[in-house]
Amino acid sequence: MRKLLHIEQIKLLNYNPFRITLALYFLAFSLGIIIYPAIDKQIPVISLSDVFRFPDVWLFLAWITEPYNALLALIVIMITTKEFNNHTFKTQVIFGLSRSDLLLQKLLLVVVLSLFATLLIGLTSLSLGLIYSYKLTFKIAMENTWILGRYFLAAFSYMIVGLMVAMLIKNTALSLLSFLALRTFLDPVLWLILREHDIKWYLPFRTITRLTPMPDLLELFQRKMNSEEAIDESAFDILPKGLDPWLNILMVSIYVGLALFFSYSLIQRRRLS
């Protein structure tokens, strides 16, 4: 496994699009973190700085940065299709790697990038929480850190879908366009078509985005007002419930498993060039 990681590292460090796209991911992430607190517009009695305090910062940042995972998926697509087009996969097989090793290389890359994204969101949330929180205890600070596990799964899922698309199409431009079309066009269109039916919550990308849903701003409002009376959420139908968390995670896991199965089948049966 260490050998496979080393080989992948050598390829990545010599691939400019990887460095550029990763830099764009980090830049978009950084700009968002700088801009959101700077705006600090009042929303009734809630300012944006409120969501950067513990324990809400974990949930808010996980939700607001979830779309950035698409950039990580684009990285995986570009790297995978490049290896098809440059016959890198074929060369590695000639020099002794199995087709399963080729897929394992990409899975290791996906895991590393998922850990990178999760670590980045974790450190950023911790830093902002320490800066903006005025009531700080260890229990409060760590209250919502469970969202990091879901964020890791969301990042991993995006990239696994991207890997499957790259294995299926092999052409870089078509793979990128296909993935973006699935994420930004097909999924929203199907959502609109199925909006009156509960099956809409089972759409692949919908389940992934629901891993890190929009924080409950009503609860934040209630805490800000120091109100002991529960808010009737039925009067504010602004937070769609979707699937139960355990079912949502199960559906994402099934989709990831299917994407891995198809990727394995494709790399075992298709020409590597």
Taken as a whole, the chain contains a residue count of: 273
CA distances from 252 to 132, 158, 194, 211, 255 (A): 34, 10, 19, 9, 5
Burial of 23 (0-12, 13-18, 19+ CB in 10 A): exposed
Q: Supply 76's token pair.
A: 């995986």
| Residue 236, pLDDT score | 44
How far apart CA 268 and CA 272 sit, in angstroms, is 9
* pLDDT, mean of each 10-residue run, the chain (273 residues): 77 77 80 67 59 88 90 92 88 88 93 94 90 85 94 97 95 95 92 90 94 76 55 48 90 97 92 76
Tell me whether the omega of the peptide bond preceding residue 55 falls within 30 degrees of 0, making it cis.
yes
CA dihedral 258, 260, 264, 270 (to 10 degrees): 80
**Is the distance from CB of 72 to CB of 25 less than 8 angstroms?**
yes
Return d(Cα 40, Cα 147) in angstroms, integer: 24
Of 231, 241, 220, the closest CA to residue 52 belongs to 220
- Separation between Cα atoms, residue 241 and residue 210, nearest integer Å: 9
Cα(132)–Cα(125) distance, integer angstroms:
10
For residue 46, give the H/E element and its range: strand 46-47
pLDDT of residue 23: 83
Q: Which residues contact 262 (CB under 8 A, 6 or more apart)?
A: 164, 167, 168
Residue 49 pLDDT: 72
Predicted confidence at residue 222, as pLDDT, reads 61
Q: What is the pLDDT of residue 217?
A: 64
For the chain, what are the domain ranges?
2-269
What pLDDT is attached to residue 239?
53
Q: What does the DSSP assignment read for 134-161?
A: SS--HHHHTTTTTHHHHHHHHHHHHHHH
**pLDDT at residue 40 in the model:** 57
The model carries a pTM of: 0.88
